[in-house]
Every structure is written in structure tokens, then in C-alpha cells.
Structure 1
Amino acid sequence: MLKQALAQNGLVAILRGVRPDEVLAIGEVLYEAGFRVIEVPLNSPQPFDSIRSLRSQLPPDCLIGAGTVLEPAQVAQVQAAGGQVIVMPHSDPKVLRAAKAAGLYLAPGVATPTEAFAALAEGADVLKMFPAEQMGPAVVKAWLAVLPAGTVLLPVGGITPDNMRVFVEAGVKGFGLGSGLFKPGLSSTDVAHRAKAYVAAWHALA
């Protein structure tokens, strides 16, 4: 279902710093704009409350995940809150195995081909290329030449509506969007405007 959601719209919303009292309004405008994967990083205020709110209120075709998952024990907490996707900044095999054992979708962070192959061997569904600013489209193209056919790379870090094209032309099928889409202090109306700009840029390229 994760790859299906990304095929519909390859943009993942990363709501780092979002509060439980505002998350539903933001989630609703993201869904309306076309987002089908929303991530709440665990270093946000009361992240499990936000995950629980999004999962209970948004339609089933919108996957809700947790980001910055660093420990196997957090996987169980995410699952208990209704989270369906585990997103990591790294590729700790213990966390990967816990996520797969729990039946959750998995998007570990990778920064080298060695990490990418190792994460796929552990059952990663998609690979988060992080930080994208340090890699660029040339690295994407080189990786995709050697990774298994169908591997989904999601660059994360510094992605804007204006710089997606070079990555798409290199072969990526989606992006993780952080502060360019949401940062603490933005209203749901602010996020709606940004979301629509990203989605328009994505559909112009996809």
C-alpha cells in the first residue's frame, strides 16, 4: 500500500514539530491537496497523540507514519498509536527488523550504496536518501543504475517545488518534504498554500 500511495502522489509530508492540537487541521489540508503519506517525527511534541489523531480521523487511503524512529521499542509505540510507516534517519538493523516483525512499512535513511543494499536486504519498502542536499541528482542516477529494478528512492532535505525536476529526471519517484512544507508556527492555511504548490509541481513532472 505504501508504494501504491506514492504512485498516486509521490510526496511525503514531514510534520516535524507539529502539536496534537493543530495536527488534524494540517492533516486535512494536506489530504485535500493530494498527500497520501503523512509523517510525524517522534521528536515532535506528544507525537503519539498526533499519530493517533491523524489515523483516527483521516481516510484509510492516507498512510500515517512516524519519523526519527531510533529504537526498536519506539516501533511498538508507533504501532499502538495506529502508525503504519516507520521512517528513520539511519538504517539500524534492529529497528528495521522490529518494524518488519510488526508488519509496518519501512523507509530507512541511507547515504551510501552499501547502506541502501543492506536496508533492502532487511526488507525496506522504500529508501530515504538523506540528506539530499549533499547528494544531488548525479548520485541518484548512479545508485539507480546498480540498485534492484523498482527500488524507490525518496530524497529528503532541501526539496522545493523548483528543484524537484532534476531529481525526477534522474529517476526518483517521490520526495520527503520537511520545512519547505511545514514548520512550527505555520497555520493550516499556510500549509495548504505550500502543499498545493508542491503538488502542482509534482504533477507537472510525474
Structure 2
Amino acid sequence: MKHRKIIAILHGIPEGEMLDIAEALVSSGITLLEVSMNGAQPLQKIQMMVNHFGQRAIIGAGMVIQKDQPYEVANLGGRFIFSPYTDTNVIKQTLDLGMYSFPGCFSPTECFAAISKGTHTIGLFPASVLGATGVEAIRGILPEDIQLYAVGGVTSSNMAIYRKAGCVGFGMKSYLYQPGYTPEIVAEKAMKVVKTYDALESMRA
């Protein structure tokens, strides 16, 4: 199954609504789901999501800042780790466990520190502060095989800007979900994102 390079950051969602919101995302074509570790009972939520979706979605953890957390996530079937900053210990442990590592980087120094530990995927955060000019400048000095994800302030309206600047993927939180959003609203937002992503991909082909 092909998964689009769109990570839905699930944070602030009431536990009773989590599966319905996640199902709306997956059914719309967003199948990379990140459960924030700084929310309530994150490990239980990750286990619930892994059990529910099976091969339909890839479940990972975000806001990972402790070196033992990748092990906990891997034991539950999680497959990627997203960190809010560049922690080389977390990166190494994540990769050693066979998971994808998405360290949050803001500067060339952080990017190269992350790359030195073996990651090939980097979340540029906050992308809204870097802007397209900053993203393009960083992209220009990194190895070609490094995949950049724009994270922070990304919407369906500005995805093309970040793609042109050199990002191949996107991490989204508040655009896809805010308190009070119903699964129907989330699905509508997700479908806009997927439509834009697919259009950008077809332009590359």
C-alpha cells in the first residue's frame, strides 16, 4: 500500500473522539498518523490505533523527547518517531529499532547533526517561521537523498510553496483538527490536502 507523505499530528483530541477523527483522515487518504506523547495516555492511544487500523495506516509518536520512548512505541507496533527538536540519542535509538526518525530541525547545524546519526527524513519546524526562502536555502546545502517535511503552519493553500522550496512531505495539526471539529469537517479538510498533494505529485511525474 502506498502512503502519501502527509503526517497528521493528532494532539488535543478527546479520547472518545480519537478513532472517529483518525478514521476520517485515513478514509480520506491521510494514512500517517502521529500521536503526541505529551497528551493523556499516549501509549494506550497508540496501541488502540495500531490495533484498529492494522496495515491501513502507519502509526507513530510525536513530541518524543525521552530516550526510552522509542522502545515503548516500537513495542506497541509504532513505526516512526517525530521529535520537536534534534536529539541525536533519540534519532539513533529510533533507527536502531528499525523505525523512521523525523527529528525537528530549524537550522543547517541541526539538520547535519541529525543526518550524522543516519536519518534520511527531517521535519523542518516551524516551517512557517523559516518560510519558503529559508526552506529553499537549507534544501540547497543538504544531501540530495534527504527528505524534508514542512511542519508547522502548513495548509492546503501553501503546500505548493513548500514543495517548490524543496519539501517532499508535510506535517499538519491545527489545519486538520481543532477542538470542535467533527469527523465530517476533518474529512473535508483532509480531502483538500490529499487533492493538493496528488496534484503536486502528478506535476513531478
Q: TM-score, normalised by structure 2?
A: 0.91
TM-aligned CA deviation for residue 36 of structure 1: 2.2
Structure 2 runs not aligned, ≥5 long: none
The match for 2:31 among 28, 36, 39 is: 36
Q: Kindly report which structure 2 residues correspond to 1:85-100, keeping only aligned pairs within 5 A, or say none.
A: 85-100=80-95
Whole-angstrom CA distance in 2 between matches of 1:61 and 1:173? 21
Give the aligned CA root-mean-square deviation in angstroms.
1.6
SS at match of 1:43: coil
TM-aligned CA deviation for residue 34 of structure 1: 0.9
**What is the identity, as a one-letter code, of the residue corresponding to 1:116?**
C
The match for 1:144 among 139, 143, 148 is: 139
SS at match of 1:103: coil
Residue number in structure 1 paired with 2:6: 11
SS at match of 1:190: helix
Q: Does the aligned pair in 1 maintain the 2:120–2:145 contact within 8 Å?
A: no
Q: Kindly report which structure 2 residues correspond to 1:184-203, keeping only aligned pairs within 5 A, or say none.
A: 184-203=179-198
Deviation readout 1:97-135 (Å, 9 max, x if unpaired): 221222221100001111111101112231000001110
Q: Does the aligned pair in 1 maintain the 2:135–2:162 contact within 8 Å?
A: yes
Please tell me whether residue 126 in structure 1 is matched to residue 121 in structure 2: yes
SS at match of 2:48: helix
The match for 2:155 among 157, 160, 163 is: 160
Whole-angstrom CA distance in 2 between matches of 1:19 and 1:87? 21
Q: Does the aligned pair in 2 maintain the 1:19–1:50 contact within 8 Å?
A: no
The match for 1:72 among 67, 70, 84 is: 67
The match for 2:170 among 162, 168, 175 is: 175
Whole-angstrom CA distance in 2 between matches of 1:113 and 1:100? 21
Please tell me whether residue 111 in structure 1 is matched to residue 115 in structure 2: no
Q: Does the aligned pair in 1 maintain the 2:104–2:123 contact within 8 Å?
A: yes
Structure 1 runs not aligned, ≥5 long: none
Identity of aligned residues (%): 35
Greater RCO structure (CA 8 Å; 6+ sep) = 1
Deviation readout 1:158-192 (Å, 9 max, x if unpaired): 11111111111122111100101112332222211
TM-aligned CA deviation for residue 10 of structure 1: 2.1
TM-aligned CA deviation for residue 61 of structure 1: 4.8
Q: Does the aligned pair in 2 maintain the 1:12–1:175 contact within 8 Å?
A: yes
Q: TM-score, normalised by structure 1?
A: 0.91
